[in-house]
């Protein structure tokens, strides 16, 4: 505990709100310490900076809302794991978690065969009414809920997928192993969402918390759609990363803007 209290400035200044300064100080502590480290206690901070307990609590709450720390009742406040990045790499949930040294999990919430509705049919490039396997899974990392996935795959292409136990398995591994199908590329859209119950309860978050909705259409090497899936991710554990190139498109746009006719 003493390690996290060292390197703390001795006092706050008078020129800015104390809560804001405390938040900045704690952010510095988080940056220096590794995930799982204990932060100075609210009591230590109150005594050191001569501020109200409420002020300290507010600063800690702000860091919790930003996903930087978490409170463990009776034990204190700890540095959270860095956010999981959804990037441009086409990875599976299992791969993402393993790369971080976490144990991926999947709990099947529903699993059935339905007739493709109009949107699913358009996405999967099949006729409306054709049988699709639909399933919903709660994805976990070291048993902690991370995301809800609602997937649709054509039954004709994956016979037996409706019977397969999808608990704690990688869908992409199964597609490779059983149906010799390799995921090749995908289009994914990201939307902001507010998680309400029952989703919030399944994700173990307070209803009203913000999160992400990823809608992904995956294809094989020939471009044939394989999987149409909506995934709801916790906003406190995820960030979306993009690698941006200023390439030919930017030049072309600039030229056409000024070029005129
Ligand atoms: C991610 C994607 C899903 C995809 C899943 C497959 O979570 N958002 O669209 O279905 O990965 O992961 P796995 O192979 O671990 O089941």
What pLDDT is attached to residue 259?
44
At 90 the pLDDT is: 87
Q: Does the CA dihedral 184-189-192-197 come out positive or negative? A: negative
Q: What percent of the chain has pLDDT over 90?
A: 67
Mean pLDDT of the chain: 89
C-alpha 178 to ligand 1 mean position (Å): 17
Determine the Cα–Cα distance for residues 91 and 105; give it in Å rounded to an integer: 15
pLDDT (average), residues 34-60: 92
Helices marked H in 180-237 — which ranges?
A: 199-202
- Helix, strand, coil share (%) of the chain residues, nearest 5: 30, 30, 40
Task: Tell me what the mean pLDDT of segment 19-39 comes to.
Answer: 89
Q: Which pair of tokens denotes residue 225?
A: 């759609």
pLDDT, tens only, 181-231: 999 999 999 999 999 999 999 999 999 999 999 999 999 999 999 999 999
The Å distance, Cα 97 to ligand 1 centre, comes to: 11
94 Cα: distance to centroid of ligand 1 (angstroms): 7
Give the separation between CA 216 and CA 183, rounded to whole angstroms: 12
Q: Look at residue 254 in the predicted model and tell me its pLDDT.
A: 53
Specify the residue with its C-alpha closest to ligand 1, atom 4. 92
pLDDT of residue 3: 46
Q: Write the pLDDT tens digit of every residue in 99-156.
A: 888 899 999 999 999 999 999 999 999 999 999 999 999 999 999 999 999 999 999 9
CA distance 195 to 174: 30
CA of 171 to the centre of ligand 1 (A): 7
pLDDT band at 1 (very low <50, low <70, confident <90, very high): very low
Would you say the CB of residue 168 lies under 6 angstroms from ligand 1?
A: no
Q: How far is the CA of 157 from the centre of ligand 1 (A)?
A: 18
Q: Which helix (H) or strand (E) holds 83?
A: none
- Give the closest residue to 131 by CA, choosing from 151, 110, 156: 156
Q: Alpha-carbon distance 52 to 34, whole Å?
A: 28
pLDDT of 68 higher than 50: yes
CA distance 104 to 141: 5
Ligand 1 pocket mutation pick from 85, 92, 183 by most atoms within 8 angstroms of CB: 92
What is the CA 232 to chain-centroid distance, rounded?
A: 8
Which residue shows structure tokens 């206690």? 41
HEC string of 18-58 equals HHHHHHHHHHHHHHHCCCCCECCCHHHHHHHHCCCHHHHHH
In this prediction, residue 66 carries a pLDDT of 79
Q: Which residue shows structure tokens 């902690």?
A: 144
Q: Is the pTM of this model over 0.85?
A: no
Q: Would you give the distance in Å from CA 121 to the centre of its chain?
A: 27
Q: Which of 88, 146, 231 to mutate to test the pocket of ligand 1 (most atoms within 8 A of CB)?
A: 231
140 Cβ inside 6 Å of ligand 1 = no
């Amino acid at each position: 505990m003493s390690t996290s209290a060292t390197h703390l400035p001795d006092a706050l200044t008078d020129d800015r709100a104390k809560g804001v300064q405390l938040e900045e100080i704690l952010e510095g502590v988080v940056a220096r310490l590794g995930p799982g480290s204990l932060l100075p206690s609210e009591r230590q901070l109150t005594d050191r900076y001569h501020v109200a307990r409420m002020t300290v609590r507010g600063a800690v709450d702000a860091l919790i809302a930003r996903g930087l720390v978490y409170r463990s009742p009776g034990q204190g406040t700890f540095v959270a794991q860095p956010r999981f990045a959804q990037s441009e790499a086409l990875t599976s949930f299992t791969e993402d978690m393993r790369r971080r040294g976490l144990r991926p999990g999947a709990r099947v919430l529903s699993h059935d065969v339905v007739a493709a509705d109009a949107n699913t049919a358009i996405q999967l490039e099949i006729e409306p009414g054709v049988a699709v396997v639909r399933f919903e899974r709660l994805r976990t990392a070291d048993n902690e809920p991370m995301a809800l996935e609602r997937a649709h795959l054509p039954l004709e292409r994956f016979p037996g997928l409706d019977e397969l136990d999808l608990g704690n398995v990688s869908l992409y591994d199964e597609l490779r192993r059983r149906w010799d199908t390799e995921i090749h590329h995908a289009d994914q859209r990201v939307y902001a969402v507010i998680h309400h119950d029952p989703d919030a309860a399944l994700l173990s978050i307070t209803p009203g918390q913000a999160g992400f909705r990823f809608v992904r259409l995956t294809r094989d090497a020939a471009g044939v759609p394989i999987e149409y899936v909506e995934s709801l991710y916790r906003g406190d554990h995820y960030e979306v990363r993009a690698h941006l190139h200023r390439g030919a498109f930017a030049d072309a746009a600039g030229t056409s803007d000024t070029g005129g006719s």
